[in-house]
Amino acid sequence: MQEVIAQIFSYIWGVWRFRWLALATAWVVALAGWMFVYQMPESYVATARVYVDNNNLLGPLLRGLAIQPNTEQRISMMSRTLLTRPNLEKVMRMTDLDLQVQNAREQEEFLDELRSAISLTGDRTNTSLYAIKVQDESRDTAKRITQALITVFIESSLIDKRQDSSGAQDFLDDQISEYEERLAEAEGRLAAFKQRHVGILAGDGGDYYGRLAQANQLLSSARLQLRELENRKVELQRQIDGEEPVFLSGGTGSLAGPGGAASSSLDARIQTLNAQMDALLSKYTDRHPEVRQIQGLIEQLEAERRAELAKVREGDFSSGYADLASSPVYQGMRSMLAETNAQVAELRVRVAEYEARVDELDAMVDQVPLIEAELKQLDRDYSVVFKQHQELLQRRESAKLSQDVEQNASDVTFRVIDPPFVPSTPSEPNKLLLNTGVLIIALGIGGGIALLFSLIKPVFVNATSLTRHTGLPLLGSVTMVPAPEQKKQDAIGLAVYSSLLAVLVLLYVGVNIGQVMSHA
């Protein structure tokens, strides 16, 4: 930090060494700059503000009933087209500026200068407020141009506001007549088409593809029910025709009637022999002669039992199973089988009918879609013409109401918030600020030149800088004691330098005062 401070002090000392050069440079630059600022042309800026009020009471009342123009967009367009050539020429004539031009070239140049001198801006916070600025060397001319612009701005928004109303209604009437003819033609084509294809076109059942999908769905459902009933029929037949039907009483193969008693003598004998077999097997092996004899008898009796059951299934109840004909379980299963057979036959007829419908629709696959597509096209054409005809009727009524509104009320009101105002002193350029800038720049250039010369011709200002640059140890220093005559000369020089610097500042103050007094 100390090194930085020492370096700064060395720069200051270097500038002080060439202070006379810095002061002379500042004087030259300041005088030249003030002369340039004094010769700069001055101009006055006239300002005005206009408020465009488009929030009238008729807007909310007629919303949805009459055609309301976008007043904000219209005013915005007028503000952007205010500086067009016809408007500028009108401003020239209103302010008598056209008397200053002699030929077409001068007029073009004057129009370009006038366009660059005019500024029209809108307020970002309030889109209905517009500010007008005009810059000119003459204070009176700037004010007159601003007033003329306000007049042109208001007149351009009010002129020719109703000239297109009658033309718009005539156009709507012609269009409505044309669409009425087109609507009648579309209705005739649609009616004739329906008469030609009355037997093919669908009614409430939908279009061709919808009917085909519905028929396929019904066919699939009927086929599924048919397969279910056929499986049920097979299962019932299997239970009735099985080797041991579900109505047998137990694992021994005996039949049980309604009271639970044995229905055949063969079943009783088989049960008795099975009991004897169990008793013998508890004492002997299966190779014992008595055991083998009883097994043979049991096999013989079971063969006879199976033969009798076969006769019963064929409807012969003359055997020992005569009670089977009166069994409710057996009769119920046969009734279920018969009912299932009837349902199967019914569903086969239904499936055949659905298949015929699907085949019929498949046969029309190349004809019906084309007819339905043509019908949809006719319906679409008719709907478009009908909708457009209705919209034109509504717009004609809205146009009539809008014309009445325009003839009896104004939708935009202009108010001049701030009339044209021009300050007594020129607005541009700000010579006080420019003179201050010239003084600051002059002093900066003088100090910079002095610093540059100090860097070109450097000296050691203290023992520290001498040691840092030479790299040799410092054994001691001798302080310079100026003579009285030298002190006197230094004091006089400092007084003269300060006086010249003060005169420069006073000259700056005098230039600004003279600038202000010249416009008083």
Q: What is the mean pLDDT of residues 273-302?
A: 83
Q: Residue with structure tokens 């002379």?
A: 24
User: What percentage of the chain reaches a pLDDT higher than 70?
Assistant: 74
Taking the C-alpha atoms of residue 309 and residue 76, their distance in angstroms, rounded to an integer, is 108
Tell me which H or E stretch contains 130.
strand 129-136
Alpha-carbon distances of 281 from 98, 163, 275, 301, rounded to whole Å:
148, 128, 10, 20
How would residue 17 be classed by pLDDT, with cut points 50, 70 and 90?
confident
Which residue, 15, 396, 476, is CA-closest to 180?
396
Quick one: tokens of 29? 């630059």
What per-residue string of b and e applies to 92-122 under the rule 16 or more CB within 10 Å gives b?
Answer: bebbebeeeeeeeeebeebbeebeebbebeb
Average pLDDT, the chain: 76
Q: What is the mean pLDDT of residues 393-402?
A: 72
pLDDT of res. 402: 62
Taking the C-alpha atoms of residue 124 and residue 489, their distance in angstroms, rounded to an integer, is 66
> Model confidence over 129-185: pLDDT tens digits?
778 888 888 888 888 888 888 888 777 765 555 554 556 667 777 888 887 888 888
More confident residue, 321 or 129: 129
Which residue, 350, 324, 195, 207, is CA-closest to 258?
324
**Burial bucket for residue 6 (CB in 10 Å: 0-12, 13-18, 19+):** middle
User: What percentage of the chain reaches a pLDDT higher than 90?
Assistant: 6
First-last CA distance in the chain: 54
More confident residue, 458 or 230: 230
Taking the C-alpha atoms of residue 399 and residue 406, their distance in angstroms, rounded to an integer, is 10
Q: How many residues does the chain have?
A: 520
Listed in sequence order, the residues at least 6 apart from 157 whose beta carbon sits closer than 8 Å to its beta carbon are 52, 74, 75, 78, 412, 414
CATH 3.40.50.261 fits 44-166+408-421, yes or no: no
- Put simply, whether the predicted model's pTM sits higher than 0.85 gets the answer no
Cα of 321 vs its chain's centroid, Å: 87
In the predicted model, is pLDDT for residue 27 greater than 90? yes
The segment(s) of the chain belonging to CATH 3.30.1890.10 are 44-166+408-421
Query: Mean pLDDT: which of 80-84, 237-241, 246-250, 356-360 is highest?
Result: 356-360
pLDDT of res. 315: 56
In the predicted model, is pLDDT for residue 81 greater than 60? yes
By DSSP bridging, strand 44-53 and strand 118-122 are unpaired
pLDDT of res. 167: 61
How would residue 77 be classed by pLDDT, with cut points 50, 70 and 90?
low
Between 24-38, 101-115, 415-429, 495-509, the lowest mean confidence (pLDDT) is in 415-429
Is residue 429 reached through a cis peptide bond, with omega within 30 degrees of 0 on the bond before it?
Answer: yes
Taking the C-alpha atoms of residue 488 and residue 493, their distance in angstroms, rounded to an integer, is 9
Q: Confirm if 45 and 430 have CB atoms less than 8 A apart.
A: no
> Model confidence over 234-275: pLDDT tens digits?
887 777 765 444 444 443 333 444 333 334 577 778 888 888
What residues pair up with 44 in beta bridges, in sequence order? 136
Q: What is the mean pLDDT of residues 327-338?
A: 75
> Model confidence over 441-496: pLDDT tens digits?
999 999 899 888 888 887 776 677 777 777 788 777 777 777 888 888 888 988 99
In the predicted model, is pLDDT for residue 217 greater than 60? yes
